């Protein structure tokens, strides 16, 4: 959630430490030019799960819930389609915005702890922000009590269990969504005085018309001016990087369990983030922009038996997850889907490709 290209294998930040995601990329196909269909949670996740563009669903912001809309209430999301074709469907954490649960999509539901736990200590008082979630720093309780750790543990238990039917397991890790909380050891990996800020051109928005500036405004986070004047830019970057490394550790735990399981050789793994994120670039914080930092996402596919360590620079969309997975698993094609099957690129990352990636905001 909110993971931008600050991942080792994507090179978005020189101090990014994501060894488990990087290792996963070396085993599969890494798409280095992948983009979300909307740079905000609800429409991006709705688009991926329904296989439809925001312009088709009519869902552009964090409301409404797709089942509450006449045009979308009877649509069949990705996991529901697998369920209709004999798969057990299981989930934990955040898949849909706000951790909402679609009962038709998942029959087995694990923990959904949310973005802030009762044991989290408020660390900063940030005035003038539209969201109480804007906080960051190390929490000192046991690592095993963090929400993403609990979600990963539940997912591991499912991978250790015996399944009579094929299964579809969706694991929704929260970090690095705010608040940027992680165990202290992840902060200690990058001492504050050594943290490198993203390169920012001071006059980068000087050539933009008023309409573009207004579109890029986001009332939820503190202003870039606040981060600079309060000397909070480095602490915030440190916390984002720490949260990302903590999430990477959970990816590693789940993958280690899969590799030890009976399902290691016949399980497709897809890792994706719902959109990008700004940490001062363009004097901007958070999401909701159509600049590359707001749209580019980590996206990789591990397909058993495929070529390992492929890197694909073609422009691709998260919208392709739905048609690609049903194709790979031999499920009937669906004419309604608007994404394009990525199977040709999984077979050969340099295959001919003439499709764009389109983001709508």
B/e letters for 181-194, b = 16+ CB within 10 Å, e = fewer, are bbbeebbeebeeee
C-alpha 110/C-alpha 186 separation (Å) is 26
C-alpha 267/C-alpha 281 separation (Å) is 38
Contact (CB, 8 A) for 287 and 293: no
Read off φ and ψ for residue 81, nearest 5 degrees.
-65, -40
Of 152, 148, 143, 123, nearest to 238 (Cα)?
Answer: 123
* Cα-based angle 200, 299, 261 (whole degrees, multiple of 5): 135
C-alpha 52/C-alpha 46 separation (Å) is 8
C-alpha 361/C-alpha 105 separation (Å) is 26
**Could you confirm whether 41 is annotated as catalytic?**
yes
Of the candidates 9, 13, 36, 41, the residue annotated as catalytic is 41
The burial class, CB within 10 Å (0-12 / 13-18 / 19+), for 339 is buried
Joined together, the tokens standing for residue 294 give 């707001």
**Could you confirm whether 177 is annotated as catalytic?**
no
Give residues with Cβ within 8 angstroms of 311, minimum separation 6: 25, 29, 30, 32, 349
Of the candidates 13, 20, 35, 97, the residue annotated as catalytic is 97
Looking at residue 54, the DSSP 8-state letter turns out to be H
> Which strand (E) or helix (H) includes residue 326?
helix 321-328
Residues annotated as catalytic (active site), given as ranges: 41, 97
């Amino acid at each position: 959630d909110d993971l931008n290209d600050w991942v080792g294998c994507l090179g978005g930040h020189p101090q990014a430490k994501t060894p488990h995601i990087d290792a996963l990329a070396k085993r599969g196909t890494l798409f280095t030019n992948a983009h979300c269909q909307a740079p905000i949670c609800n429409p991006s996740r709705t688009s991926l799960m329904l296989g439809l563009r925001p312009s088709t669903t009519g869902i552009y912001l964090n409301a409404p819930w797709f089942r509450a809309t006449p045009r979308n209430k009877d649509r069949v999301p990705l996991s529901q389609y697998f369920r209709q074709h004999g798969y057990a469907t299981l989930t934990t954490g955040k898949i849909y915005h706000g951790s909402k649960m679609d009962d038709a999509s998942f029959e087995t539901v694990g923990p959904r702890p949310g973005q802030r736990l009762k044991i989290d200590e408020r660390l900063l008082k940030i005035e003038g922000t539209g969201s109480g979630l804007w906080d960051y720093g190390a929490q000192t309780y046991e690592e095993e009590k963090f929400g993403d750790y609990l979600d990963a543990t539940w997912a591991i238990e499912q991978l250790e269990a015996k399944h009579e039917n094929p299964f579809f397991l969706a694991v929704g890790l929260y970090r690095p969504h705010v608040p940027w909380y992680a165990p202290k050891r992840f902060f200690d990996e990058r001492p504050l005085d050594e943290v490198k800020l993203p390169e920012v051109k001071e006059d980068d928005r000087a050539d933009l018309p008023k309409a573009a500036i207004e579109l890029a405004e986001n009332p939820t986070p503190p202003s870039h001016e606040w981060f600079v004047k309060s000397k909070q830019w480095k602490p915030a970057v440190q916390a984002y990087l720490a949260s990302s490394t903590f999430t990477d550790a959970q990816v590693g735990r789940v993958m280690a369990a899969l590799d030890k399981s009976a399902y290691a050789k016949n399980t497709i793994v897809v890792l994706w983030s719902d959109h990008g994120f700004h940490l001062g670039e363009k004097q901007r914080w958070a999401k909701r922009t159509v600049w590359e930092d707001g749209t580019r996402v980590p996206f990789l596919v591990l397909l058993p038996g495929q070529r390992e360590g492929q890197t694909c620079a073609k422009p691709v969309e998260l919208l392709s997850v739905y048609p690609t997975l049903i194709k790979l698993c031999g499920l009937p094609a669906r004419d309604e889907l608007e994404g394009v099957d990525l199977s040709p690129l999984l077979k050969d990352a340099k295959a001919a490709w003439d499709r764009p990636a389109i983001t709508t905001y």
